[in-house]
């Protein structure tokens, strides 16, 4: 998959495995960066399969929301180097 950084949106996806006979199942929530909702769902199932061995056939998505920025016009300071603050 080739993505351009400006085209990625943030999605919050909540899903769970299907329950068997009144069994409580855990609910998983992930933040996924993808260009659209279809790719976000696909990446959710990919990561859930890698982390918890839950496949799309054995699970369901409860909610998918597009997370918007609180103030998109302001510049955020992102620094990965701790030596800049010394």
**Per-residue pLDDT tens over the stretch 27-70:** 999 999 999 999 999 999 999 999 988 888 889 999 999 998 78
User: For position 28, which CATH number holds?
Assistant: 3.10.20.10
Whether 84 is in a domain gets the answer no
Whether 3 is in a domain gets the answer no
Q: Is the pTM of this model over 0.75?
A: no
Whether 83 is in a domain gets the answer no
Whether 16 is in a domain gets the answer yes
The parent domain of residue 21 ranges over 8-68
Whether 47 is in a domain gets the answer yes
Whether 85 is in a domain gets the answer no
Whether 81 is in a domain gets the answer no
Number of domains into which the chain is organized = 1
Nearest to 65 by CA among 15, 2, 19, 10: 10
Measured torsion, CA atoms of residues 4, 7, 12, 16, in degrees rounded to the nearest 10: -60
């Amino acid at each position: 998959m080739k993505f351009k950084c400006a085209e990625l949106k943030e999605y919050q996806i909540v899903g769970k495995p299907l329950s068997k006979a009144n069994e409580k199942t855990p609910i998983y929530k992930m933040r996924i960066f993808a260009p659209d909702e279809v790719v976000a769902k696909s990446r959710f199932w990919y990561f859930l399969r890698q982390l918890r061995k839950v496949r799309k056939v054995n699970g369901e998505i409860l909610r998918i929301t597009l997370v918007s920025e609180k103030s998109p016009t302001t510049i955020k300071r992102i620094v990965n180097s701790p030596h800049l603050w010394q």
